[in-house]
Structure 1
Amino acid sequence: MVHGALGGVAGAGAVEIARLGGLWRVTRPWHPGLRPFLRSYVGYWEAVTSPYRARLVPTGHATLLINLAEPFSQVRRLGVPGGDSGRIGSLVVGVEDRPAICVHPGGQEAIRVEFTPLGAYRLFGLPMSELTNLAIEIEDVLGPAAGFLVERLASTRDWAARFDLLDAALLARLDFGPEPTPEVTHAWHLLTGSAGAIPIARIAAEVGWSQGYLTRRFTQQVGLPPKASARVLRFRRAVALLNRGTTSLTEISTICGFYDQAHLNRDFRAIAGTTPGQMVAARRVEGAVALSPSADSSKTRSTAGR
């Protein structure tokens, strides 16, 4: 197990290692050249090795997970035919609007990077619509060089050096990736700035496109249509308010633009496969919600796709 060394490199800042629950987390300030494209960048390993099952809840971002030790036994997307990855190591996860169940045998050590959808579009170099609600082996998205990078990261004995290697690989991809169109970029900023509350017709009018054309181009570059993206953004705002613990579900429904509390509950079931109350009470693991042995029931599977 690599416990890493404190330190860093010129211009990158110091590496910080801290225990958070059952994980040791490793962070340092993001490289300035990557900062516009990132939403999270963290290394971690288990403080106590133990098997776990967790529900991956949509974040509105795309994820790159570099697995440095034991692979996942399974990543299974709920409500998606053929959405079972089987055994999988390092992976790319596209933008999601439904949950997944991941199963790990224990002994996980990884680097998890979350990108904005448009940042992922540029860094991955392919339409984000090809990755929606999928977990795909890293080499199938980023090519054979990604496999060599994973091997180098796993064999490196220092976390600062690991981050340097990954930073360099990501920065190199920026030189070759496609630029999002200005209209889609503006539409995304309007949608995120309102946390999904702005009408899609208003966005289309502001960027000067028809709704149909906006939907096609937006879906290609973001991964979800504008309406589905807005739904995930409202969900994420509701989760943030729930985590504060100071606002009632009725108030959250109104603030986030749900018709009523029943509408909020339906979207939580569809997007996260759980209720607001269950999600707040659940123990968190890195990027996911831990499950009890009975949490992945047939009832959860049937409601997740609605």
Structure 2
Amino acid sequence: MSRHLTSSPRSGHELFARPAAPDLRGHVLGYRGFRFGAIGVRRRLMIPDAVVKVMLGFGDPLRVVDPFEPARSASAVSLVNGARTTAAIGEHAGRIHGVTVLLTPLAAYRVFGAPLSEWANLSACPSAFGRTDLARLAECLAAVPDWETRFALLDRSLRALLGAGPAYSPEVAWAWSALRDSAGRVRVEALAAGTGWSRRHLERRFLLQTGLTPKGAAQVLRLQSALRLKESGASWADAAAQAGYHDQPHFDRTFKAMTGRTPTSFRADRTSASAQDAQDFVPGQITSAILPRC
């Protein structure tokens, strides 16, 4: 059953969320349906969260800007956003309407059937990854009259794509689970020993199938751990210590390097946003903040 997150009939603004079907939940983290009316230029800082997001759009284009490497910026009605180690900024100025599919990196490897190492930290339209069928899926979703039917269509489509895709290595899956379950606090040497591979071989295979290096994944997962702790009421210093940073200055430097913001400014952006803004699209993650209008 979908959950209505927020709506505003006056502005034509609505957000819906629904988990994937039970048999897909190890791979598909959920769906987010959205519709935004013409509300002026809107900018959302998207924090690294180790999730691949497939946005299938029915309205005006969305632009994703890479503040660290502007040449990587992209604009399209539908966009695939690979797993990132640095933040991006989503921008739109018109009416956008669509649904975002939240995939684990290993699920994305199966869905796209291509090395994720080729599109880490990238955003591009699905056809750039050889998936013109996703453009057709977006057209089918747009023609459906309600969110529940759209989400059911996504369940069926993703079940077929996952079933037909390449298998990922059990060793990579084990290493990913070890990092996820420890919130990034397992050393790469220990991961390599656990797989029986050399460190170099693990790094190559892990990057190929997740789009991240083991070290990069650990950095993202530690960042998310600190953000969840802060969200639950911890001070920045306590959150940094509990997430495995040497001290708060170490966390502050890492946060700025990964997001382009200080922890304090990021927190201020989140707390000043409208109550209608559902800022976190990924369950259990701190994923974004609405940026002030320029």
Worse-superposed segment, 226-235 or 44-53: 44-53
CA drift of 1:28 comes to 3.3
Q: Name 2:108's counterpart in structure 1.
A: 120
Q: Name 1:9's counterpart in structure 2.
A: none
Residues 60 and 29 (structure 1), Cα distance of their counterparts in 2 relative to 1, 3 Å cut:
closer
User: What's the RMSD between the two structures over aligned residues?
Assistant: 1.9
Q: Name 1:216's counterpart in structure 2.
A: 204
Q: Name 1:35's counterpart in structure 2.
A: 25
Structure 1: distance between partners of 2:145 and 2:76: 23
Residues 248 and 265 (structure 1), Cα distance of their counterparts in 2 relative to 1, 3 Å cut:
same
Residues 105 and 194 (structure 1), Cα distance of their counterparts in 2 relative to 1, 3 Å cut:
same
Worse-superposed segment, 254-263 or 17-26: 17-26
Structure 2: distance between partners of 1:138 and 1:192: 27
Matches within 5 A, 1:87-166: 87-166=75-154
Which digits, 9 at most, give the CA deviation of each residue in 1:69-117, with x for residues without a partner?
A: 1111x211122262121x3110111100111122201322221111111
When the two structures are aligned, how many residues end up with a matched partner? 278
Q: Name 2:14's counterpart in structure 1.
A: 24
Structure 2: distance between partners of 1:105 and 1:42: 20
Q: Secondary structure at the match of 1:178?
A: coil
CA drift of 1:207 comes to 1.2
Name stretches of at least 5 consecutive residues in structure 2 with no aligned partner. 282-287
Structure 2: distance between partners of 1:293 and 1:81: 19
If the length of structure 1 is used for normalisation, what is the TM-score?
0.85
Task: Report if the CA contact (8 A) 2:112-2:165 is conserved.
Answer: yes
Matched, 1:80 2:77: no
Task: Report if the CA contact (8 A) 2:37-2:96 is conserved.
Answer: no
Task: Report if the CA contact (8 A) 1:91-1:135 is conserved.
Answer: yes
Task: Report if the CA contact (8 A) 1:69-1:154 is conserved.
Answer: no
Q: Name 1:300's counterpart in structure 2.
A: none
Residues 84 and 189 (structure 1), Cα distance of their counterparts in 2 relative to 1, 3 Å cut:
same
Task: Report if the CA contact (8 A) 1:196-1:230 is conserved.
Answer: yes
Structure 1: distance between partners of 2:116 and 2:139: 26
Worse-superposed segment, 260-269 or 284-293: 284-293
Task: Report if the CA contact (8 A) 1:122-1:177 is conserved.
Answer: yes
Structure 1: distance between partners of 2:293 and 2:3: 33
Task: Report if the CA contact (8 A) 1:25-1:42 is conserved.
Answer: yes
Shift >4 Å, 4+ stretches: 20-23, 284-287
Q: Name 2:245's counterpart in structure 1.
A: 258
Task: Report if the CA contact (8 A) 1:242-1:280 is conserved.
Answer: no
Residues 48 and 18 (structure 1), Cα distance of their counterparts in 2 relative to 1, 3 Å cut:
farther
Task: Report if the CA contact (8 A) 1:243-1:280 is conserved.
Answer: no
Structure 2: distance between partners of 1:48 and 1:105: 7
Task: Report if the CA contact (8 A) 2:4-2:16 is conserved.
Answer: yes
Q: Name 2:170's counterpart in structure 1.
A: 182
2:268 alignment partner, one of 269, 278, 281: 281
CA drift of 1:132 comes to 0.3
Residues 293 and 26 (structure 1), Cα distance of their counterparts in 2 relative to 1, 3 Å cut:
closer
Q: Report the AA paired with residue 250 of structure 1.
A: A
Structure 1: distance between partners of 2:3 and 2:247: 43
Residues 285 and 273 (structure 1), Cα distance of their counterparts in 2 relative to 1, 3 Å cut:
farther
Q: Secondary structure at the match of 2:230?
A: helix
Q: Report the AA paired with residue 134 of structure 2.
A: A
Which digits, 9 at most, give the CA deviation of each residue in 1:168-227, with x for residues without a partner?
A: 221111122111101111111111111011111111111111111111111111111111
Structure 2: distance between partners of 1:221 and 1:97: 15
State the identity as a percent.
33
Q: Report the AA paired with residue 293 of structure 1.
A: R
CA drift of 1:29 comes to 4.0
Q: Name 2:50's counterpart in structure 1.
A: 60
2:34 alignment partner, one of 44, 67, 82: 44
Structure 2: distance between partners of 1:40 and 1:50: 28
CA drift of 1:64 comes to 0.5
Which digits, 9 at most, give the CA deviation of each residue in 1:214-260, with x for residues without a partner?
A: 1111111111111111011100111111112x212221121111111
If the length of structure 2 is used for normalisation, what is the TM-score?
0.88
Q: Secondary structure at the match of 2:167?
A: coil
